Structure 1
Amino acid sequence: MSRREHMRREANMERVSEGTASPSPTWGLWKRWMMPIGLSLSVILGIGLGVWISGGTSARQSARPLQVSESRVAPTGALATALALSEAFAQVARQVEPAVVHIETEAIRTGRRSEEDPFDFFFGPRGRPRRGTGSGVIVDPEGYILTNYHVIRGASTIRVKTFDGKTYTPEVIGVDPETDLAVIKISRSEPFPYARMGDSNKLRVGDWVLAIGSPFGLEQTVTAGIISAKDRITDGENAPFQRFLQTDAAINPGNSGGPLVNLMGEVVGINTQISTSTGYFNGVGFALPSSLAVEVYNQLVRRGRVARGYLGVYVKPVTPPIARLNGLKEPQGALVESVTDPESPAARAGLQTGDIIVELDGEPVRDSRDLTRRVASMDVGRTVRLKYIRDGREYVTSVKLGVRPSLADRREEPLRDEPRGKNAQPPEERKSSGPPRLGAKLEPVTPHVADVLKLGAVRGAVVGEIEEESFAETLGLMPGDVILSINRTEIRSPEDVKRVFEGLKSGDDVVMIVARASRGVGPSRSVLSGTIP
């Protein structure tokens, strides 16, 4: 071993003894390759970062402003149909909106105050203003406006705001409480934009309609929907004349009086009411049909009021027992419950309680509402031809129509000096039992009762106490009623009632005519019917 190799070995041994390992051949190889690679990656990352920074700045500088563009692809299929419908809605709105008006009202209401107002001494008691809003539609270029009666009812001040923002004080041309319609008029030197009236009779369930008005005071609001039903009847004392169009187009407070229009831009209804438990729209709205609105409008403009034809009878629906007793296959027509006055048109024509009117001028009568509505739409003084059934036989008569009394004149109040409920009893000494199947106590008619009810003779049986859940209660008998006939058999005493019921069994029909007193209009007749349980 040479001296040089010996010195190198000793040096290596010293490094090992000091804890330092000698580099292996692998380490040298890794160092030789990885150092250039690391340097290359650093250069690449640096260049990339620079490009990213400069590129972001360049993108912001080169971005173009956002613009609204039109589709260059022609719509087809369902999309084309939907766009056509959308265009129709927009066109109708543009066409009708200028004719729709916003109505504001103010009424002064007075009420008691908890403390005296010192100003009352100088100026008198001051009322509190009650404000309301509604809608209307101009239907004539002269400024005639159709709206609801309830929109302007009781108003001391009425203001009409048109589409162009101008405000007018209108003249009230006429009102018709029984249909809830009114006509008012605004004036200016130039014609007003107006809407054309359409034919509501041509509407179909499912047809598209738009409602335009001022819900919650939000003027010129347009909502869309369909005709959900026709000839819809709602509760209320105006029901005989109001057969509504039902729609799901949103109608809310403030829409009243506004138009319901078809896709031709024609007014087919006057928005009037909604069915709701919250006071707001629940998907069920009602509009008076244009056919009725035109009829009322023409009368109000011509003479300031509506004169309706009048027969002078109270009518009610025909029940199955009444239909069977008179030989009808099914209930139809209008049952004459009573004749209002001996001098009424119906009385002069010979109509009586229990008659069933089945035709008016050759057209079938569907029910009592149909008869009332059709007669009311006819001119006063017109002679009509009636076909009716009495005791199963057909008769024909002619009637010259009178003038229908106002709603207030026709209200009735029971004529009884003492309150008598369904279980009220007549004086003990006059009490008598009735047939068990009837469930009511009966007593003879006195001369006084016969005179009050204008029976013409002391006949019939007076109803006293009525048992709960009895057949008498089901029929609708009331204490004080006088039974005049049962199934066409004249009743002259309580014993006659017993004999008739002895011949009846469960499942038999009963049709009963009774006399009933009413304050103001005097005694009347009622027809009651049912089937013995």
Structure 2
Amino acid sequence: MVRTPATALLLSLALSTALPLTALAETKVPQSQTEISLGFAPLVKEAAPAVVNIYAKIITQDQGRSPFANDPFFDDFFRQFSKPQPRVQNSLGSGVILSEDGIVVSNYHVVGEASDIRVVTNDRREYEAEVILADQASDLAILRLKGASGLPFLALRNSDEVEVGELTLAIGNPFGVGQTVSSGIISGLARTGTGGGQGFGYYIQTDAPINPGNSGGALIDVNGDLIGINTRILSRSGGSNGIGFAIPANLVREFVRQAREGDTAFRRPWAGMTGQPVDADLADAMGMERVDGMLISELHPQSPFVAAGFEVGDVVLSVDGEPVNSPSEMAFRLSVSGLGGTSEVTRVRNGQMETLEVTLSEAPDEPAAQPIQLSDKTPMPGLVVGQVNPRVITQMQLPLSATGVVVMDPGPYAGRGGVMPGDIVVAVNGEAVETPEDVARLLQDSGRWLQLDLVRQGQRVALRFRL
């Protein structure tokens, strides 16, 4: 986008005490009252056209339930009333244009499951949009505007260079009132555990007010560059309390790269490990001078970190020179690095610091999962089971130590009986199973009664069925 050189200068002068001394050396005192009174206006004029409003329709299944659902007599009469009914939900959010040909980034929870997406630009042009890559765990989605060209866009800043205290603007469409701008500062970095998802939450924190509808909007710096994508707030009331979170621009950059290469789902390197932050007690027990890093507490035998020479008990300090202090930070750093290359990972073992090279690859599908779906002629039609391997562990969020056969989809019959996705099948009618074929064979040979022995979240579960 075209940017006025004086814009960032005037804005940084207005509140120059928030900038580092190195930046102050390059600034100049405003020459007139007009320059001082400009405020954020020039910056907003440049950045706002690249922030869009998003209107999405999401079709969900309304899970109505009959009050006689558990009654053995009336259940058949009222069964039709408990069938799921399609229901249309309207989602409102924001997005940021990242290229002149209409590549837009927003949040997954805004557009990830939408069937109809309409994007309205700052100058009221409307476009149909399609999601070309989405990832629920990271809460990011990349869209392409149909027929778009010559659009204004924001440049992505290296979010690792962002510092606490920097001035920021949050631009979005809160509460559907129209495009709105709020100002603040970066109030925290490397915030983890503030969102749901699957443990990939790693955020920039700001006190710029962020409210419902701001999701997917831009968090920019005083140069008009994109720092992050606004995604959520920390609030008990539902309104902004001065603690908002944005997904760093470096992760957005990797999403855009994969989307342009044709990926429809985000592909991230697999660590194959679990860990915990090093606290004061751990640091003292390990003879570390600083409370820093992440202790590796578990490693999968097929983990690339094992191949690189890491062991349980090692402390990871950094990935490619950037600090790592939690599993979420590790997941973020590997995701930003992308697949196909290597990363320099620094560890501490027995008081000695060492940097090792780790290959960045996806979780392997070895041994092959070989999922089997049971036919309608079996006691549990539609049940899908597969062999546990690193890829299945990642997709189904199983413990690293999981082995054997996992339920990938319980199907209608087993699901009603209490079987859940992610259950590990230990035995069928008292006979141990090791492969999906074992489960299929034993279910086929069942008599009038069937017992499934499962492991669910570390607990042994036994389910009995009358066939």
- Cα RMSD (Å) of the superposition? 3.8
- Give 1:75's aligned residue: none
- 8 Å contact 2:292–2:317 — kept in the other structure? yes
Using the TM superposition, name which of 263-272 and 315-324 deviates more: 315-324
Counterparts of 1:224 and 1:300, CA distance in 2: 31
TM-score, reference length from structure 1 = 0.55
**In the TM superposition, what is the alpha-carbon distance from 1:215 to its structure 2 partner?**
0.8
1:102 maps to 53
Unaligned runs of 5+ in 2: 1-28, 68-78, 364-390, 403-431, 434-453, 460-467
What whole-Å deviation, never above 9, does each CA across 1:232-290 have from its counterpart, x for those lacking one?
33434558644322222221100100112223322222111111111111222222222
In structure 2, the partner of 1:331 is 291
Q: May I ask how many residue pairs the two structures share in their alignment? A: 340
Q: Secondary structure at the match of 2:261?
A: helix
Distance 1:230 1:397 in 2: 26
Query: What CA distance in whole angstroms lies between the structure 2 residues aligned with 1:363 and 1:201?
Result: 8
- The CA deviation at 1:144 is 0.8
Separation in structure 2 between the aligned mates of residue 84 and residue 378 of structure 1, nearest angstrom: 42
Report the more deviating stretch, 381-390 or 86-95.
381-390
User: Structure 1 unaligned runs (5+)?
Assistant: 1-77, 416-450, 453-516, 523-533
Does the aligned pair in 2 maintain the 1:413–1:519 contact within 8 Å?
A: no
> Which moved further from structure 2: 99-108 or 378-387?
378-387
Within-5 A mapping of 1:64-143: 84=35, 86-109=37-60, 110-112=62-64, 126-143=85-102
Q: Is the 8 A contact 1:233 1:239 kept in 2?
A: no
- Out of 238, 249, 262, the residue aligned to residue 290 of structure 1 is 249
- 8 Å contact kept, 2:193–2:199: no
Mapped to 1, the partners of 2:456 and 2:229 lie a distance apart of 36
| Residue identity matched to 1:277 | R
Confirm whether residue 175 of structure 1 aligns to residue 134 of structure 2. Answer: yes
Q: Distance in 1 between matches of 2:50 and 2:358?
A: 43
- Change beyond 3 A, Cα 1:90–1:403: same
Give the equivalent residue in structure 2 for 1:313.
273
Match of residue 174 from structure 2: 215
CA deviation profile, 1:281-309 (whole Å, cap 9, x unmatched): 12222222223322322223223233222
Question: Which digits, 9 at most, give the CA deviation of each residue in 1:364-413, with x for residues without a partner?
Answer: 65555444432333343434455544455667755433315586432449
Displacement after TM superposition at 1:131 (Å): 1.3
- Provide the residue aligned with 2:397 in structure 1: 410
How far apart, in 2, do the equivalents of 1:306 and 1:111 lie? 30
Q: What is the 5 A alignment of 1:238-387?
A: 238=197, 241-304=200-263, 305-340=265-300, 342-358=301-317, 360=319, 365-366=324-325, 368-384=327-343, 386=345
Matched, 1:165 2:152: no
Residues 417-452 of structure 1, C-alpha deviations (whole Å, 9 max, x = no match): xxxxxxxxxxxxxxxxxxxxxxxxxxxxxxxxxx99
Equivalent pair of 2:250/2:336 in contact (CA under 8 Å): no
Judge conservation of contact 1:175–1:300 (CA < 8 Å) in 2.
no
- Aligned pairs for 1:38-77 (under 5 A) are none
One of 142, 157, 160 as aligned partner of 1:198: 157
Cα deviation, 1:342-365, whole Å, max 9, x if unaligned, reads 233233344332233345567765
CA distance in 1, matches of 2:107, 2:320: 32
2-structure distance, mates of 1:359, 1:165: 45
CA distance in 1, matches of 2:255, 2:52: 20
Task: Note if contact 2:344-2:355 (Cα within 8 Å) is conserved in structure 1.
Answer: yes
* Pair 248,331 (structure 1): closer, same or farther in 2 beyond 3 Å: closer
Alignment partner, residue 149 of structure 1: 108
If each structure's helix is expressed as a fraction of its own residues, which one has the higher value? 1
AA at the equivalent of 2:64: R
Shift of 1:225: 2.2
Corresponding letter in the other structure for 1:96: A
CA distance in 1 between partners of 2:236 and 2:323 (Å) = 37
Contact 2:52 2:122 in 1 (8 A): yes
Counterpart amino acid of 2:286?
N
CA distance in 1, matches of 2:306, 2:400: 23
In structure 2, relative to structure 1, the CA distance for the partners of 1:349 and 1:414 (3 Å cut) is closer
Residues 81 and 315 (structure 1), Cα distance of their counterparts in 2 relative to 1, 3 Å cut: farther
